[in-house]
Amino acid sequence: MSSDRRASVPVRTRLADGRELLYFFDGDGGRPHASLPEDTRELPARPATPELRYDRLLGEWVSYAAHRQSRTHLPPARECPLCPSSDTRATEIPAPDYDVAVFENRFPAFGPETGGALRPPDWAFEEFPAVGRCEVVAFSADHAASFPGLTRQRVRTVIDAWTHRTAELSRLAGVGQVFIFENRGAEIGVTLHHPHGQIYAYPFPTPRTLTQLESARRYRAEGRGELFADLLADELADGRRIVARGRYWTAYVPYAARMPLEVHVVPHRSVPDLPALSHEEREELSGLYLDVLQRIEALYPTPTPYIAAWYQAPVNHPLRGQYRVHLQVTSPRRAAGKLKYLAGSEAAMGAFIGDVIPEDTAERLRGALPPFAASRAAEDEA
């Protein structure tokens, strides 16, 4: 891949109900606006912003979006709302073809209202609007495609889209954190088979992120330095759980992995979110991320369900500078035909019991495909 590739510049339009739609294109250029038709559907009005309630016992927010009960659920390919539109059927994407498309979710868990500052309620029962924004990211016009099967150029375009959306959504009033993720497989709970991910712009920092920030704060307060840097350094020094390593990124199975398949992809430099990455870091990420997903895919003869989750620093948190963006890919698949279910200890108490030793998982992943460094060298020579 050319090292002088510029980030994809999106083309913006609106869907019939006012939701924003952005097209991102592979390569340096864009397609003419004339080739992107308008949405001519007659759509109902957008739903009201969901309700937000505060759990005082756990100190966490819960969104209630009852309208999501009516969202599309595992339709056949001929009825897929993420496929391109045709002369006989209009979908969420009016274009007859596309590379990557990002649009506001028709059934959002947060938004469409934005703005306002949250505070823990002063009394027991007080509702707030679940402001924010939820977007869908369609990775390909091909209904039968999958992220592990994308070209490296397409993965780079997806990273461009994620970066662009993180930057824009972080500037929206009231947004506390931007979360990018892909749910893959019916076992995970996806409602559409078409290859896609989502972006949530929460009105608060998420509980898992706050826990990580508190660990980093406590680690530094004890005079130990930067937690994220030391975790990476310790994994590199140990070496047994390293899956793939590049110049700017390392992928490893964490020492205390909770899921049977769990890989963390971490930048060598301390940056809070995707927009803070350099061109070179994004370029290498497109190859290493694809490498990790293809290794996971190669473990079994059938597609493996997974959640790919980007952990980014909260937007305006005082400890934002101590956070390091990273990716966590997890799968409940513990063997061919067997899944790990979060039952009593995990679901009720949050106390995980591992089924697979992390070092064994890392060894299997390392052997699944040629090392990333070798594949990258071959690509550079080509």
- 89: its two tokens: 């059927």
> Cα(67)–Cα(49) distance, rounded to whole angstroms?
10
> Cα(92)–Cα(39) distance, rounded to whole angstroms?
8
Q: Is residue 334 helix, strand or coil?
A: strand
Q: Which residues pair with 134 in a beta bridge?
A: 200
Q: Which residues pair with 249 in a beta bridge?
A: 267
Of 164, 193, 196, 268, catalytic: 196
> Cα(177)–Cα(166) distance, rounded to whole angstroms?
9
Q: Which among 108, 214, 110, 100 has a CA at the least distance from the CA of 158?
A: 100
Q: 56-82: buried (b, 16+ CB within 10 Å) or exposed (e) per residue?
A: eeeeebebebeebeeeeeeeeeeebbb
- Dihedral sign, CA of 168, 322, 271, 294? negative
Q: Which residues are annotated as a binding site?
A: 80, 83, 143, 194
Q: Which among 49, 48, 39 has a CA at the least distance from the CA of 17?
A: 39
Residue 144: half-sphere exposure toward Cβ, Cα within 13 Å: 0
Q: Which among 369, 378, 356, 358 has a CA at the least distance from the CA of 252?
A: 358
Catalytic residue at 196? yes
- 47: its two tokens: 């739903």
- Cα 258 off chain centre by: 19
Q: Which residues contact 3 (CB under 8 A, 6 or more apart)?
A: 280, 283
Q: Which residues contact 333 (CB under 8 A, 6 or more apart)?
A: 187, 260, 261, 300, 304, 305, 339, 340
Q: Which residues are annotated as a binding site for Zn(2+)?
A: 80, 83, 143, 194
- Dihedral sign, CA of 215, 219, 222, 226? negative
Looking at the annotation, which residues are catalytic? 196
